[in-house]
Amino acid sequence: MKVNKTIIVGLIFILFGGIIFLTDIFNPIIRPLTYTFLMGSSKGKDIMFFGLLGLFLILSQLFKKDIDTTKYLKISVGVGSVLLILGIALEVIFRLQMGIKLNTVFCSMTSTMSSTSILHTHLLKSILGEALTQIIGPFIQSDINTGVGLYAYVPSFAFLIILLIPILFITIVLASQKRPWPTNFLLAFFSSCLIIGAIDGGLFGTPAIVGILGLYLIYRDGYYINNIIGKLLNDENLLKENELIQPVYRNRGFSQKRFLFNRVLIGILIFAVIFLRLTIAFAGAEPDYYTVNVANPSQEIDLGNINSEIIKIENSTDKITYHINTSYNEMQLINDLKGPLNNSCKYYTVSWNIYSYLGLFK
């Protein structure tokens, strides 16, 4: 593997990830950019993103011999899809075992506060976070949430799902060999988003959606992306190299309608995934009030400023249920509960309210 421009760029990205780990000086510049595709970017996500981006670029130069990159990209899309679907299935099984509703955010108060939901799962993150804590715990900074608080609640078979991540990584590396530079960079970008999304967010999170649909975009329309960039830059070498990677539906004798359908299929899938995500969010929403269930309260609880927003309180032997005004933003409420409930309960759940993000209160 000879050092070339791609490897140098990859090393720069990895170095930049290391700088972000050591200092916050670039946060005001980087965070607004990564926030758009990492769904609430954090320091941990930024470090992972630039590290993976650089690593994928470097490893794309690994093999000199010809490899069927289209086949491995197709496998990557398949493995990535299964990984995301199993991640959500794990979330459903976890809730059935715990006896809590599907349309809630679960917040563990064990160790550090960690949350998870079907719309934004952190269960797989907790497994990797626990392993990372055991290995380099003293070096993990306080502002990097590893999700270890959820680890005690994760079903025991979940580690089998984690095994799909290294398999996905290997197939992506094989899929990125000998590709023209535009789709090589895009593949590294989408792959980084996909792996981060699988760990933090899951199928309905922005990084996973960007990642899996991005891989599928390269699989179906990578040829046209390279072709457009090659013509814009008048790069004959790029155009010549691009002819070696043909779309699976090009030059197949399809009718014009069928060919156009293949071209716009990625757009249809993007719309379908977004529509499904919003449908689940609205279908599970509780717009009249938040239902907050506090499990195994250990003492008298004072919710502080939240007290003025409480509509009703219900007590039982093992939990306290609060009905809270929807004037709160969902994420703000979850975070505001963290302080009063610290060391006061085992966990708590908060019902969904997508209307709070849109300003559509009933």
Question: What gap in Å lies between CA 22 and CA 259, rounded to an integer?
Answer: 50
What integer pLDDT is reported at residue 111 of this predicted model? 67
Question: What gap in Å lies between CA 314 and CA 209, rounded to an integer?
Answer: 39
Question: What gap in Å lies between CA 159 and CA 130, rounded to an integer?
Answer: 12
Residue 361 has pLDDT above 80, yes or no: no
What integer pLDDT is reported at residue 211 of this predicted model? 96
- For 322, residues 6+ apart whose C-beta sits below 8 A from its C-beta are 290, 291, 292, 294, 303, 310, 312, 313
Residue 45 has pLDDT above 50, yes or no: yes
Q: Which of 40-49, 136-145, 203-212, 352-361 has the lowest mean pLDDT?
A: 136-145
Q: What is the mean pLDDT of the chain?
A: 87
- pLDDT tens digits for range 274-308: 899 989 988 888 888 999 999 988 777 888 888 88
What integer pLDDT is reported at residue 143 of this predicted model? 57
**Where residue 135 falls among pLDDT bands split at 50, 70, 90?**
low
Q: Going edge to edge, which strands form the sheet with 310-315?
A: 114-116, 104-108, 347-351, 290-295, 319-324, 310-315
Mean pLDDT of 194-212: 93
Mean pLDDT of 9-28: 91
Q: Are 92 and 99 in contact (CB under 8 A)?
A: no
Mean pLDDT of 323-351: 87
What integer pLDDT is reported at residue 141 of this predicted model? 53
The model carries a pTM of 0.89
**Where residue 142 falls among pLDDT bands split at 50, 70, 90?**
low
Domains delineated in the chain: 5-84+161-275 (no CATH), 290-358 (3.30.70)
Q: Are 225 and 199 in contact (CB under 8 A)?
A: no
Question: What gap in Å lies between CA 276 and CA 285, rounded to an integer?
Answer: 14
What integer pLDDT is reported at residue 362 of this predicted model? 41
Residue 258 has pLDDT above 50, yes or no: yes
- pLDDT tens digits for range 82-134: 999 999 999 999 999 999 999 999 999 876 788 999 999 999 998 888 777 66
- The candidate with the shortest Cα–Cα distance to 210, out of 233, 183, 192, is 192
Distance of CA 184 to the CA centre of its chain: 21
- The candidate with the shortest Cα–Cα distance to 38, out of 47, 29, 123, is 47
**Position 43: which residue type?**
K
Q: What is the DSSP string of 323-349?
A: EE-TTS-HHHHHHHHHHHHTTT-SEEE
Residue 138 has pLDDT above 60, yes or no: no
Angle (CA) 349-147-30 rounded to 5° is 110
**Where residue 360 falls among pLDDT bands split at 50, 70, 90?**
very low
- The candidate with the shortest Cα–Cα distance to 261, out of 272, 271, 249, is 249
Number of Cβ within 10 Å of residue 297's Cβ equals 16
Q: Are 173 and 59 in contact (CB under 8 A)?
A: yes
| β partners of residue 282 | none
What integer pLDDT is reported at residue 139 of this predicted model? 53
Mean pLDDT of 63-86: 91
What integer pLDDT is reported at residue 144 of this predicted model? 63
The percentage of residues in the chain with a pLDDT greater than 90, rounded to a whole number, is: 48
